[in-house]
Amino acid sequence: MSAATLPAPWAALLVDTVVSRWRVDGLDLPVDGEWLRSLFQQTRGRWAPAPAAEPQPDDLQLDWLQGDTSGARLWLGRTQVTWCTAAQTCQSAPLPESAATALKDTLKKKLPR
């Protein structure tokens, strides 16, 4: 299987019942399955290794929590999404700017004000 056809990199965590929440902008929230399905549909088959990935200051960052510890990170940039495991193995997928904006807006609406 080539890197470009890898399944969504968080797929293994979804079967782990320990991961039921994530931290978004410093706030703990339940993992939103509908939001993830939307992200999955827009990035399916587009993931590729991203060894030097680092979030930019304006990227929306999500920490996948295992207990109180970050098990992995996902961040949405202007035109891509990146996933890194706790061991810093990272993958990125391109995302149209309109899709990235819509995903960010949807998640931000769930944050308490």
pLDDT number for residue 1: 32
* Structural domain range at position 15: 3-109
CA 27 – CA 39 distance, rounded (Å)? 20
In the block, residue with structure tokens 């807006």: 105
How many domains does the chain divide into? 1
Residue 8's Cβ-count burial label (10 Å; 0-12, 13-18, 19+) is: buried
State how far the Cα of 98 lies from the Cα of 104, in Å rounded to an integer: 10
110 pLDDT band (50/70/90 cuts)? confident
What type of residue sits at position 38?
S
- Which value, to the nearest 10 degrees, does the dihedral of the CA atoms of residues 1, 70, 108, 28 take? 140
Average pLDDT of the chain?
83
The stretch 65-80 carries a mean pLDDT of 88
- Least confident range of 17-31, 68-82, 92-106: 17-31
pLDDT value of residue 4: 41
Q: Taking the model in full, what pTM does it have?
A: 0.82
Instruction: Classify strands 90-94 and 80-85 as parallel, antiparallel or unpaired.
Output: antiparallel
The mean-pLDDT minimum among 16-20, 33-37, 54-58 falls in 16-20
